[in-house]
Structure formats: structure tokens, C-alpha cells
Amino acid sequence: MDWEPRDFPENNVTDVHPLKELVTLVAGIAAATIILTLAIAFTLDIGMRALPAAWEARLFDGLWSDLDEVDDERHAAAVRLVDELALDWPENPYTFQVFILDSPDPNAFALPGGAIGVTRGLLDSVESENELAFVLAHEIGHFSGRHHLRGISRTLAVTVVLGAVTGGASGTMLTQWVSEVTQLGFAREHEEEADRFGLDLVEKRFGHVNGATGFFQKLPDANAGTVGRLGAWFATHPVSPKRISDLRRLARDRGWRASGELTPLDPSFYAE
């Protein structure tokens, strides 16, 4: 067989516009990055859910020693309340620790290993044991859903994938931004789940849910206007008006009493 070479065309260039090729390439990389991130996040999420609480405690032991913890006479009352609320969670695998932090901002949060941080600002703002109980029960709800660990797994997945795509340190800012954006929806979902769990613990302890929403009614966004509420939509925590409404609706759906006697705080809360 004779082979006859073909002549090269005068303009040996693809007809596809370079911009279209660039868009296709970027879209392909983005799709691959998203799929890989989701796959890693899903795998880590399963692993975090299955991580025994004892292993978790050992893994994070001593990690919170640098917290701005302070001595506060109300610490014992907060610990007692956490322990009593946890009794109504039969499957509880944790031994909880409570830290009182020297901050005027009213806040509480769950930390891996079974630690619950509570600020002085929060203790100063509550007016009944029912009010404080819901905040603490909400944090216990985060441990029930393993939200603290699952949040770490998603952040780790985003960091690993984007670090590989962008070349490590060069992608630090992008990694942080994408991680924060992707966490928003999950965080709101986790907050709502913890609210439902917490309200259940409060009802079991007191026989009613009166006072559970008291803390949120004091927050600045409790009476926010339309602009404030729209802005708060992008926050990880649900805005107070919606949060209060959801809790009240949950109580009605479950048939829980919305009225009942409020339990006074421990005497240490009133000490000068």
C-alpha cells in the first residue's frame, strides 16, 4: 500500500474560541473540585459520626487549656444543670466539662471532646433556670448530632482539595472563603436541629417549655426590622424572630405546655 502524506492546511488552528476553551477548562476543574470535595466530606462525615466519644475525648484532651477561663461562683450551678439535662439523653456517651469564659458577650458553644463554653455575659443575662437550661440543652444537642465534629470534617475537606488545586499557601484566602460559605447552610441546619433536641430536654426536665425562648428575646436582632433580618440570613445562627417562632411551633406540634412556673436560678447567680 502506498502512503501519500497530506498537506497541512494553511491555518492549522482550532475553530473554537480561546475564551470558550478557557471557560470549559475552568468549569471542568470546578466540577471536579466540587465532586472531590463532596466525596471527601461525605467520607469524613461518616467517620466523624462513628468516632467513639472516648476516642474524641482523648484526641482533643487538653486542647482547650488556653481558653480564657475564669473562676466564677456560678460554675457549679452550670455544671449541675448540664449533668441533670444530660440524664434525659439515655444514649449520652460524653462526660461533659463546662468552662466559664471571661467575655461580656452572651454566648455558649460546644467544643470537641465534650466541652461546653459559657460566657459571663450569658450568665449575667439569663433570668431563670429554664432560660439557661435551654441554652445548655441546645449545646448538648450539638453533641447529639456530632455537629462540632462534622463541621471540622467539612472544613478539612475544603482545605485539602482547594489546597491541592491552588497550590497550598497560595490558596489560603480562597480556601477560608469557600469554607465559610459552604458552612453557612450546614450550620443553620445544625442550629435548628440542636434547638429541637434542646427543647425536648427542657420539656422533660420542667414539664413545660416556658422560658425557653427568653434568652433569644433579649438579643439585638429579636426586634430587627426587615433589613436586619435579611442581613442576618447570612449568619450561621437563625435570626431570633424565626428561631422563636420555630420553637413555639415545635412546642405546639408536640403538645408541650407553653405555660408553667419558672424555676429561680441558683443563689450563686445573685451573689454580689
pLDDT for position 228: 40
pLDDT for position 223: 46
pLDDT for position 146: 84
Task: Show the domain range for 253.
Answer: 20-270
Let me know if residue 24 belongs to a domain. yes
Report the number of distinct structural domains present in the chain.
1
pLDDT one-digit tens code per residue, 188-203: 788 889 999 999 999 9
Burial of 169 (0-12, 13-18, 19+ CB in 10 A): exposed
Model confidence at 21, pLDDT cuts 50, 70, 90, reads: low
Let me know if residue 152 belongs to a domain. yes
Pick from 131-145, 232-246, 257-271 the range whose average pLDDT is largest: 131-145
Rounded to whole angstroms, the Cα distance separating 94 from 82 reads 11
Burial of 267 (0-12, 13-18, 19+ CB in 10 A): exposed
* pTM of the full structure: 0.71
Strand order from edge to edge, sheet including 108-111 = 97-101, 115-119, 108-111
pLDDT one-digit tens code per residue, 56-88: 778 777 666 667 678 889 999 999 999 999 999
CA proximity to 97, closest of 109, 79, 81, 80:
79
Model confidence at 4, pLDDT cuts 50, 70, 90, reads: low
pLDDT for position 197: 96
Average confidence score pLDDT of the chain: 75
Let me know if residue 259 belongs to a domain. yes
Let me know if residue 11 belongs to a domain. no
Let me know if residue 6 belongs to a domain. no
Let me know if residue 14 belongs to a domain. no
- Helix boundaries (H) for the chain: 18-50, 53-59, 75-86, 120-125, 129-144, 147-166, 172-206, 214-218, 226-232, 240-254
C-alpha cell at 163: 489546597
Q: Which residues pair with 98 in a beta bridge?
A: 116
The CA distances from residue 67 to 113, 117, 148, in Å, are 14, 9, 17
Let me know if residue 240 belongs to a domain. yes
Let me know if residue 117 belongs to a domain. yes
pLDDT at residue 234 tops 50: no
C-alpha cell at 267: 443563689
